[in-house]
Structures are given as structure tokens and as C-alpha cells.
Structure 1
Amino acid sequence: MAIGLICAIPEELAHLRELLLDMVPVRAAHTEFVSGTLDGFDVVLASSGMGKVNSALVATVLADRFGCSPIIFSGVAGGLDPDLAVGDVVIADRVIQHDAGLIENDRLQTYQAGHVPFINPVDRLGYHVDEDLLARVVDRLADFTLPALSEAAGGGNRSAAIRFGMVLSGDQYLHCESTRERLHRDLGGLAVEMEGGAVAQVADAFAVPWLVIRALSDLAGQDSRFDFLAFVDEVAAASVAILRRLLPVLQERRQRTADY
């Protein structure tokens, strides 16, 4: 069973594609799906494009047509936690679609995607990573250190940190200090991006384990667009380095049951 690998943008995809061997491309919908081997493991690699609909489409094809398990999203994100810096890596233990919910009195009440409190209420908010998979990931990375960031990325002798926690997904590129502070304060997000929540929703529907690995290319504030352009290539490489480290433990899995 192949591991499904998704990236959103070309800078993320390039790092993985150049490592792939025995490539066999197949076109489906708007995406090229490339079967091959990465460090000896069978994978199917695809670039989804940005946003939740694009990533949901690609995750569905990986699960249904290619039978991939697990499905991994590897790429970059904006940082929400002020203790994090460009180049740090956040691995989701839970994802929430922060832009889904009920708008009332000019405010959004974030709610489970696909549900409304007075139509089809649900106690669940977001999607949690499979506990067994997460435990293996934490153990595998316990003694793993990323190389120091370049001076150009503000690194020097500082190695990138690896954190586990909440990742938020929404169909907007965040370039706003006040929204960054609100999302961190109200939802506890460490990072914000545009795809992971949809990948998790699709994977959950197919009872397939999933993982979101995000290296911070910017801090989601007023300088985010400039930071992204300057740092995206280097920090995307950090996400790939972690993915390669995790490959041996991604398919060791117990029987999964849906978390409802």
C-alpha cells in the first residue's frame, strides 16, 4: 500500500519530486499523480494547488483510486504562536477549519465543517491525528535535529524547533496581525494554512490515517507576503527532511476506527 503525499505549491513539490525514483505519472482532474519510490518506500505524490477544495479533491483520488494509506500533507504555513519563528516546524495533532461555522452579530463562531449548530449539531470540532500514528511520529523524532537555518532566513546557529499541536486551515492567505492574534488566542492554533483540514476530513471519511507537516515560511502578520517569498524554498526543505525521517514508521499501524 503506497503512502499518499500532497504538497500545495511548486516550491514544496520540487524538493520531493527530485528524490523520487521509478516515476509513473497519471493525470486525473487538474493534477498529475506520480507513483514512485522515495527512500525505498512506495508513494504517490501530487500537487493539489492551494485551498481546501483542491486538497480535498486530491486526497479523495489518493484514497479512492490509488488506495493510499496514510495520506501526508507536507509543506509550509504561517506561524500563529509568537514563540515560534520562521523555519520552525509544526506537526498537527489536530486540525480545525477555522473559517467554517456560523456568522452571527458580525462574528464567526467556528464550528465543525459541514455542520451548523441548529441544523445538524455535533460535539466534534476538527480532526485528531490517529493516536497510534502520532505516538510513533513523536518517538521517531525524539532525537532528530534539523540543521540550522541560513543567515538569510534569520537562522545563524539556531536549529529549527519541532512542535506538535493545533493547525488551523482556511481559504484565505493570512496577512493580518489582529487575525493572527485572535486565531492563536481563541483556537490555540500554532500555525495556519489552507489545506490540511480538508485533507483530514477526506481521510477520516475513508478511515485512512493522515498527517500534516508544516514548516513556517512566515508569521502570518503584516510582513507575511515578503517573508513567504524570501523563505519558502528553504523551509519547505525542512518539512521534506522530517517526512523522510518518518517514512519507516508511517505504515506501521493498528486497525483504525472512526472517531465519532
Structure 2
Amino acid sequence: MTAQYRDSRRYDGTRERVFQACHDAMQPCGFTIKSSRPDTFTIEAEYQYRESPGANAGLFEEFASLAFDKLLSGRFGESITLTVDEDSRVHAVSISRPKTTLLDQGKNRENILAIWKKMDSYLLHSPTVVNDHSVTIGNNSGVVQNDSVGDVRQTNDFRGGAEDRPRTAPAPESRDEADRWEIGVITVLSEETKAVIYALGLHGRRIGGLHFYEGGADAGGTPVRVVATRALAQGNRSAMAAYDNLRRHYDPRIVVLVGIGGAIRTEVAVGDVVVADRIVYYDLRKETKEGTRHRGEERAAPSEVGHAVNAFFTAHDPARFSIEDPGGAVHDMRIWPGLIGSGDAVIADHEAEILEYLAGFNDKILAVDMESGGLTAACHEQSASSGQLQGWLVVRGISDDAGAGKNDDYHRLASWHAATALRKILPYLAPPP
């Protein structure tokens, strides 16, 4: 006789997205994935029982716990299978190991419910949930009860009634603060990504079809968890998608867009870095017979980020540094505070009408890019569902002057300077000890 727990939930989302959420929920819930088959949307994983002594445990209890972990924990646990069907319904089956109810400890149901809770935090919109609960021992049916060791019991009645009817799922809980990463980084070009990986000492991790780069960076003596990802393409829409991937898998406290940009002020030179906690999105416009009427929109980062930026430039006034690149060459780098204009156009003309508009909108705009508008919009809009402000910052190494001579010659230099600038700002973005 084998203790089992079966449950299913239907989520509002594509089959692929729900399958990815299943995959992501395994490790945080203590499961080790043994196989993941995207072709059949099936994940097989294992969970090992471990014995932990209580806070007031004596020598005998501690010894018994140690003996259990060393000798027996690998034998007792659960095998779990998650399958996503064509209706985006997740079917979960948890089976105790070994095949007995004696050592089940009531964990089958508890662990599946933990997986549901974790998935709810990833899939923020799951309006309809159908629960098909069933704990089975052998071939029994009706009211089934698992009399496990201790006070924990699994019991369920699936003969009909309210539990069998669809119901509206409760609003998902926001991710626990301990689960959040401190800093998330978005890059676009390969040079930008490589620079961030090297400057912060990150290592790669693949989650489904997505690639991330994780690490513990030194923020002035305080270690902070940093994760980076590269957007699929240039532009604001791709930046929004990259942010969604970061938030769904890591939920970073502050997201930093790091890479290259074009200067639109003569005092800002190639190799300088612009740090912006305010941006102007300039693509909103109205086309009339008289011409284009721009409707720029300015966005500011949460005050916590603004204070961090102010503290950095207070400590470094002027912010000038002598830095070494990966090849050993030494460069001078200046870091400027200022605004960045963002839109989906590549600007390669000093006389471009949009540059005249930006100068009139705010003369503190120092550079332009193609992604910060999308990132800041995504950070602003997600607060409606999460209930918390999303910190963001833009760090742009200057690779050109947005003129006709624009080319790729300084992409590598500007990317390295931007990544190095982020490393220097990290101590100010890190949470308090």
C-alpha cells in the first residue's frame, strides 16, 4: 500500500508558461528535478525527508537526527510528477518512498500545496482554479485517510460537493522578501552582457529556454545577490519582456538597465557613463497636417533609488575614476547624473527633430537609448498587482554622439565602463545590513 496525494489546478495562461512555472517551483519547494520533458509537458522530481531536532533537543535527539540524515534520509521521501495538459491544467501526483504509509509523515499533501503556493506567486493571474483532491491508499475510494506517523494526517472527501466545483482563486500572495534577489540587470547586446558577467563575477544558469547569469557581488563589504539577463532584441518592448522574465523567476528589488547609449550634449564624451533615475519617453506623439506633436512622458525611480544615486554622487564629486579593462589597459572614466531620453528610433543625425524636442522638454537630458522607456513602464505598471514599488536605474556607457558618424567601434569600451560604473554604485543600492 502506497500513500499518494493527487491534485490538479487549472491556470489562466499558455501551456508553455504554466509548464515553466512548474519547473521553477520545484527547487524552492525542496524538490530535485530528475527529468523535464517539454514535449509532453511533464516533470518528474524527488523530495527527501530530513529530520531536524527542535530548539530544545537533547544530545540523544541530535544524535538521532544526525543518524537519520546520514543513513536513512536518501531512502525516505516522495516521488512527484507534474503534467500540464492542453487546457493549462496541472496534474500533480505525489507518491511516498518506500511504498508504505508508515513513514509518509503526511508530507504528500503538504508538499503539493507548497508547490501550488509557489506557482501562484509566479502566475499572477489565475482566475479559475479547479481542485481535484484525492489521497489514495491501494484501491480505496470515497473518504480516504492517511494515518501517518505523528499528529499530521491527510484526509479528503472526494465524493462530491463544493470541492468539486470551480471557484475563484484568492489573490496570489507577493513573494516573500527573503526570496527576492537584490539586483536584477538587463542588457541587450552581447558586449554589454559579457561586460556585466565579467565585472560582477556571474555564472550562467538556464531555466527552460531562458538564460540567466547569477552571482554574489561585493557591495562595499556587503554581499548582494545579482542576476542578469539579456533581452531578446533591441527596443522597449523586448526590454519589457526581459523585465517580466526577471521578475517572474527572481523578483529583484532593483532592476538596472546596463549598456550603451548615445550622448546628445557636447560635454558628455565617448567612454563617459550616464546614470539616470529619471527618463523621458519621447515616442508618444500625435501626427497632424501641421506635423508631429510629441507628448513626452517623464518617469522617476522610487525615492529609495534616488537617495542611493544622490549618496553615490555626494561621495564622488566629481565622479572620475581610473579603471582597468579585462585586457589590462587603463582608462579614465567620468560618471554623470542626468536624464535619458528613450524611444524606439536609432538617432544618427545631430539635426534630428527629436533632439530639438528633447532639448526643449528638459535641458538635463544627457543621452538617448531604446530600452529604458519600456523598462520603466513595466516597473510602474507591475505595482498594481504586486502592491510594492519596483526600483529601477539606468546606467549607460556612451558609445557615440547620436550623429552621422555613429558606429560600433566603441561598443566594447562603453559596455565595460557601464558595467564598472554599476559595480561602483552597488554599495549604495544594497539593502541595509
* TM-score, length of structure 1 as denominator length: 0.79
Distance 1:163 1:88 in 2: 7
Distance 1:149 1:104 in 2: 51
Question: In the alignment, which of 393, 407, 410 is matched to residue 231 of structure 1?
Answer: 410
Q: Could you tell me which residue of structure 2 aligns to residue 240 of structure 1?
A: 419
1:85-117 CA distance string (max 9 Å, x none): 1111111131122122222235333326xxxxx
Residues 1:46 and 1:83: Cα distance change in structure 2 (over 3 Å): same
Q: Could you tell me which residue of structure 2 aligns to residue 116 of structure 1?
A: none
Residues 1:106 and 1:224: Cα distance change in structure 2 (over 3 Å): farther
Distance 1:44 1:196 in 2: 18
Q: Would the aligned equivalents of 1:76 and 1:217 in 2 still touch at CA under 8 Å?
A: yes
Q: Would the aligned equivalents of 2:203 and 2:213 in 1 still touch at CA under 8 Å?
A: no
Is 1:37 the counterpart of 2:216? The answer is yes
Question: In the alignment, which of 269, 275, 281 is matched to residue 97 of structure 1?
Answer: 281
Distance 1:183 1:213 in 2: 23
Q: Would the aligned equivalents of 1:63 and 1:69 in 2 still touch at CA under 8 Å?
A: no
Question: In the alignment, which of 256, 262, 282 is matched to residue 72 of structure 1?
Answer: 256
Distance 1:43 1:91 in 2: 18
Distance 1:95 1:27 in 2: 33
Residues 1:171 and 1:149: Cα distance change in structure 2 (over 3 Å): farther
1:171-195 CA distance string (max 9 Å, x none): 1211111116414422332101100
1:73 Cα offset (Å) = 0.4
- Number of equivalent positions: 230
Distance 1:21 1:88 in 2: 24
Q: Could you tell me which residue of structure 1 aligns to residue 361 of structure 2?
A: 187
1:46-103 CA distance string (max 9 Å, x none): 1113111110101122123321111100111000112211111111131122122222
Aligned-residue identity in percent:
23
Is 1:16 the counterpart of 2:196? The answer is yes
| Higher Cα Rg, which structure | 2
Three-state SS of the structure 1 residue aligned to 2:409 is helix
| Counterpart code for 1:167 | I
Q: Could you tell me which residue of structure 1 aligns to residue 376 of structure 2?
A: 200
* TM-score, length of structure 2 as denominator length: 0.49
Q: Could you tell me which residue of structure 1 aligns to residue 270 of structure 2?
A: 86
| Counterpart code for 1:129 | A
Q: Would the aligned equivalents of 1:24 and 1:36 in 2 still touch at CA under 8 Å?
A: no
Is 1:147 the counterpart of 2:322? The answer is yes
Residues 1:41 and 1:7: Cα distance change in structure 2 (over 3 Å): same
1:136-163 CA distance string (max 9 Å, x none): 222224325322799xxxxx98x43322
Residues 1:34 and 1:100: Cα distance change in structure 2 (over 3 Å): same
Structure of greater relative contact order (alpha carbons < 8 Å, 6+ residues apart):
1
Q: Would the aligned equivalents of 1:5 and 1:44 in 2 still touch at CA under 8 Å?
A: yes
